[in-house]
Structure 1
Amino acid sequence: MTESTDEDVRWLNERETQTWLDVWSLMVWLPSRLDAQLRAEVGLSHAEYNALSQMSMAPDRTIRLSELAAVSNMTLSHLSRVITRLEKAGWVTRSPDPADGRYTLGSLTAAGWEKIVDAAPGHVETVRRYVFDTLTPQQAEALGEAAAKIVAALSPPGMMRA
């Protein structure tokens, strides 16, 4: 590994440093607040809610679990544990993909649909309280534009969109 000199490093200026610290805090604290609300109100972890939510937006409420792992940024083993909990609760079923048996599909059951419909209002209210209610409409629009550019630079697998 080569040692870099100060001339090689594009250090953050004071404003960039503060912005980065705010983004870092947002990445750390917002998920924990969302998780706490979901656990308290509907008994779901944020990861479980995300899996149910992604399935609810997929065609026929069914998605390949490998695709769900990718869009959720979960390892297959972590997703497997999440899906097992959701399956035991009766909210999800697993089945071989008829198009390619090497893949497993996760499907939202009717009870799973009811669970996500029940969980969504409180989750949305928490997102609204911590994000959108703190911003003007112009700031919310700027945040959306900035976040989209950052997401594009990260090149994550495509997420389901409402």
Structure 2
Amino acid sequence: MTEPRWLDAAQQRDWRAFVDGSVRLTEIMDRDLKSRHGLSVSEYEILVRLSEAPQRQLRMAELAENASQSRSRLSHTCSRLESKGLVKRDSCPNDKRGVYAQLTDQGFTALERAARDHVETVRTYFIDVIEPQDLEAVGRAFAMVLKRLGPTT
């Protein structure tokens, strides 16, 4: 049995800052979106991904990958969004096993309203407190983390 590769003090400090900061930032974003717009962070992310897609629609499998959610979790989240009238799901015309999620006009309007407040939260607690070169480093670092992690399942 090999000895674990323990983190040194600086690595431990930085790792804990990342974990604590990301958890707290996600909690703040979730609280703000829910209180102001009735949306969770995961619901908001689905609306964003659909708004960026051609015809504002994606196959559920592709949406799960893009929104970093399992297919099961995505299905539950889309059900909530459907009940709010923000998303609709339809069968793929050329593949009966496939299902599309599509952003409704009501969903797009809700996203536009929520995005105005959400971007201020992101700026206040993330963008504006990080030097531009450090922000670039964070982006590069997490691109490598995502590459190592591979696709979501």
Tell me whether the two structures share a fold, i.e. TM-score over 0.5.
Answer: yes
Q: Which moved more, 1:133-142 or 1:114-123?
A: 133-142
Match of 1:160 in 2: none
2:125 matches 1:133: no
Match of 1:46 in 2: 41
Q: Which moved more, 1:71-80 or 1:106-115?
A: 71-80
The correspondence of residues 24-63 of structure 1 with structure 2, limited to 5 A, is: 24-63=19-58
What stretches of structure 2 of length at least 5 have no aligned partner?
none
Instruction: Answer with 1 or 2: which has the greater Rg.
Output: 1
The TM-score, its normalising length taken from structure 2, stands at 0.91
Instruction: Specify whether residues 48 and 149 from structure 1 end up closer, same or farther in structure 2 by C-alpha distance, changes over 3 A only.
Output: same
Q: CA deviation at 1:5?
A: 4.0
Which among 61, 67, 75 is matched to residue 62 of structure 2? Answer: 67
CA contact (8 A) 1:62 1:106 kept: yes
What stretches of structure 1 of length at least 5 have no aligned partner?
158-162
| Counterparts of 1:117 and 1:69, CA distance in 2 | 22
The TM-score, its normalising length taken from structure 1, stands at 0.86
- Sequence identity (%): 38
The one-letter code sitting in structure 1 at the alignment partner of 2:59 is: R
2:149 matches 1:151: no
Q: CA deviation at 1:36?
A: 0.6
CA contact (8 A) 1:93 1:107 kept: yes
The one-letter code sitting in structure 1 at the alignment partner of 2:135 is: A
| Counterparts of 2:72 and 2:138, CA distance in 1 | 33
2:115 matches 1:117: no
2:96 is paired with a residue of what secondary structure? Answer: coil
RMSD over equivalenced CA pairs, Å: 1.5
| Counterparts of 1:5 and 1:107, CA distance in 2 | 50
Match of 1:88 in 2: 83
| Counterparts of 2:2 and 2:80, CA distance in 1 | 50
Q: CA deviation at 1:103?
A: 0.7
Aligned length: 152
| Counterparts of 1:123 and 1:27, CA distance in 2 | 16
